[in-house]
Amino acid sequence: MANNVTMRDPYRAKKMRVYFRFSMIAVACVVVVAVLAIIMNTGQKNIDYSQSTFVQYEAPEDSAPVVVFETTEGTFKAVLYENEAPEYCKFFEQLVKDGYFNDTYACTLLRTGGVTGGFIAGSKTQDGTAADDTNKEFINVEVSGNMLPTKGSLGSLVREGGRFSKPKAGSVFTVLSDVVDIEELRKAVDGDVNGFSRVCELFEKYGGVPNYLQMYTLFGQVYDGWETLDKIFNTKIIDEAAPDDKEDRDLRPEHEIKFTKVWLSTYGEQKQNGFNIPLKEGSVKINTASEDSSATDASSADTSN
């Protein structure tokens, strides 16, 4: 899995560059090998997804915590899943309460082949370098079989562990977009191993980034403000014209994208536009055991603000 992401430590005092090799964009076998490693339990926690309750696609209780992200591009909202990532959610929520993410930046767009797989946010600087007030605390990675890296999911950016240490999640986080090639994903496993067919169905329905499976703590899901999110995803990077394999390609957005205010609320207070998870273009309606009728109706609704 580690070979799918090459990154410099974002907490060192040097420019951070992140290179993602997505299956749909560059080398299709990358994500296939990654998924196979996960499904077949080679070095990763084995999860039977046939037993999963995929909470991201269900309308939450009114008491569920919600983070409101006000940015220079607009506002989007995300539900946090404390039962799936309890330690990281506690850590993240405290940072939000402390105002840590106010005036932070989306410092990197995960752009390859003109397509964005997501962006890195929560940086105190525009280029992702550490600042004096950068939070350098780390939390053990938490893996839940009820969370998938589909479009709009929030994941922690991970500092990889060594031989005697575990990977850690820090204050920098990602918001994922969609780069999945569903045909390649379905070819990865012959048959339904560990509920893999359910996973494929959800990626086909919502889109996402499969090589994030079990790599990061997934802790939230955007449900409102998709126009803002897509506006960020579609922002050009500084080295837009540079080839994807250029080692020092600058993945910073070409203009400043700042999180002006990030604050906590609840779904009950932030459900004016409903719980909307947009369908991937061209996808067909499917049913999963975890989806109730309200979530099904919500995912088909208009996703504009």
* pTM (two decimals): 0.80
| Residue 304: φ, ψ to 5° | -75, 155
Q: Provide the percentage of residues in the chain whose pLDDT is more than 70.
A: 72
Residue 31 has pLDDT above 80, yes or no: no
| pLDDT at res. 181 | 87
- Confidence check: pLDDT of 19 > 50: no
More confident residue, 111 or 281: 111
What type of residue sits at position 66?
V
Q: Give the pLDDT confidence score for residue 305 in this predicted structure.
A: 44
> Which tops the pLDDT comparison, 77 or 190?
77
Question: Residues for the chain: how many in total?
Answer: 305
Judged by phi (left if over 0) then psi (alpha if -120 to 50, else beta), residue 208 lies in left
Report the b/e string of 186-215 with b at 16+ CB within 10 A. Answer: bebbeeebbbbebbbbbbbbbbbbbbbbbb
62 or 51, greater pLDDT: 62
**For 116-131, how does the pLDDT look when each residue is reduced to its tens digit (9 = 90+)?**
999 999 999 998 888 8
- Burial of residue 87, with CB atoms counted within 10 A of its CB: 0-12 exposed, 13-18 middle, 19 or more buried: middle
- Mean of pLDDT over the chain: 79
Cβ atoms of 274 and 290 closer than 8 Å: no
Q: Look at residue 43 in the predicted model and tell me its pLDDT.
A: 38
8: how many CB neighbours lie within 10 A of its CB?
14
- The pLDDT tens digits of the residues spanning 222-277 come to 999 999 999 999 999 999 988 888 888 899 999 999 999 999 999 999 999 999 99
Q: What is the pLDDT of residues 138-196, one digit of tens each?
A: 889 898 999 999 999 999 977 665 544 567 788 999 999 999 988 888 887 667 788 88
State the pLDDT at residue 86.
97
Q: Round to whole Å and give the CA distance between 110 and 17.
A: 10
- Categorize the per-residue pLDDT at 283 as very low, low, confident or very high, splitting at 50, 70 and 90: low
Cα separation of 223 and 78, whole Å? 6
Q: Which CATH number fits domain 2-298: 3.40.50.300, 2.40.160.40, 1.10.760.10, 2.40.100.10?
A: 2.40.100.10
More confident residue, 235 or 291: 235
Please report the pLDDT score of residue 45 as a whole number: 53
User: What's the pLDDT score for residue 97?
Assistant: 98
The pLDDT assigned to 204 comes to: 93
Using CA of residue 47, residue 266, residue 278, residue 89, what is the dihedral sign? negative
Q: What is the pLDDT of residue 48?
A: 85
The whole-number pLDDT of residue 7 equals 37
